[in-house]
A and B are shown apart, each in its own frame.
Chain A
Amino acid sequence: MEEEQTYLELYLDQCVAQDALAPPGSPLLSPVVPDEVYIPNSAHPETVFNSHLEEVKETSGPFSSVDLSFLPDELTQENKDQNIIRSKHEIEENCKTQSQQSRLSLPREQDIGLGLISNSSFSNSHSHLYPGDADSVQPSLEKPDSMPLASIAPMTPMTPVSECSGIVPQLQNIVSTVNLACKLDLKKIALHAKNAEYNPKRFAAVIMRIREPRTTALIFSSGKMVCTGAKSEEQSRLAARKYARVVQKLGFPARFLDFKIQNMVGSCDVRFAIRLEGLVLTHQQFSSYEPELFPGLIYRMVKPRVVLLIFVSGKVVLTGAKERSEIYEAFENIYPILKGFKKA
Chain B
Amino acid sequence: MPGGGRCPDCGSTELVEDSHYSQSQLVCSDCGCVVTEGVLTTTFSDEGNLREVTYSRSTGENEQVSRSQQRGLRRVRDLCRVLQLPATFEDTAVAYYQQAHRHAGIRAARLQKKEVLVGCCVLVTCRQHNWPLTMGTVCTLLYADLDVFAGTYMQIVKLLGLDVPSLCLADLVKTYCSSFKLFQASPSVPAKYVEDKEKLLSRTLQLVELADETWLVTGRHPLPVITAATFLAWQSLQPSARLTCSLARFCKLADVDLPCPAPSRLQELLAVLLRMAEQLAWLQVLGLDRRSVVKHIGDLLQHRRTLVRKAFRDGTAEQEAGEKELQGRGQGPGQGNEEVAASSSLRLPEGKRPASPALLLPPCMLKPPKRICPPPPISTVTGDEDISDSEIEQYLRTPQEVRDFQKAQAATGLSNPP
Contact = CB atoms under 8 A, between A and B. Distances in A.
B214 to A, nearest CB: 9
Contact of B416 (A198, A212, A284): A198
Contacts of B251: none
Contacts of A233: 383
Interface stretch (B4-12, B180-188, B215-223): B215-223
A275 interface: yes
A201 B415 CA distance: 11
Interface string A258-285: 0000000000000001011100110011
Nearest to B223: A292
A280 B166 contact: yes
B397 A273 contact: no
A249 B396 contact: yes
Interface in B390-418: 391-397, 401-402, 405-406, 416-417
A344 B312 CA distance: 12
A235 B383 contact: yes
Contacts of B405: 191
Contact of B362 (A170, A250, A294, A312): A312
A290 to B, nearest CB: 8
A90 interface: no
- Interface band, chain B: 35 or more
Given A242-B391, A293-B150, A313-B362, A231 B376 contact: yes
A232 interface: yes
25 contacts: A191-B402, A191-B417, A194-B395, A194-B396, A213-B381, A232-B381, A234-B379, A235-B381, A238-B384, A238-B385, A242-B391, A246-B395, A273-B362, A275-B218, A277-B166, A280-B166, A289-B166, A290-B135, A292-B221, A293-B135, A293-B150, A311-B364, A312-B219, A313-B364, A344-B213
Contacts of A192: 396-397, 402
B392 A246 contact: yes
A237 interface: yes
B397 A235 contact: no
Contacts of B402: 191-192
A313 B215 CA distance: 10
Interface residues of A, number: 52
Minimum-distance CB pairs A-B, first 7: A237-B383, A234-B383, A295-B219, A312-B219, A234-B381, A312-B218, A293-B150
A293 B147 CA distance: 8
Interface string A209-221: 0101100000000
A292 B392 contact: no
Given A242-B391, A277-B218, A293-B135, A170 B396 contact: no
Contact of B392 (A196, A231, A245, A290): A245
A246 B393 CA distance: 8
Interface of B: 134-136, 146, 150, 153-154, 157, 163, 166-167, 213, 215, 217-222, 360-362, 364-365, 375-376, 379, 381-385, 387, 391-397, 401-402, 405-406, 416-417
Nearest to A201: B416
Given A232-B379, A241-B387, A313-B362, A196 B219 contact: no
Interface string A158-185: 0000000000001000000000000000
A314 B369 CA distance: 14
Contacts of B396: 192-194, 246, 249-250
B31 to A, nearest CB: 61
A47 interface: no
A273 B365 contact: yes
Contacts of B391: 212, 242
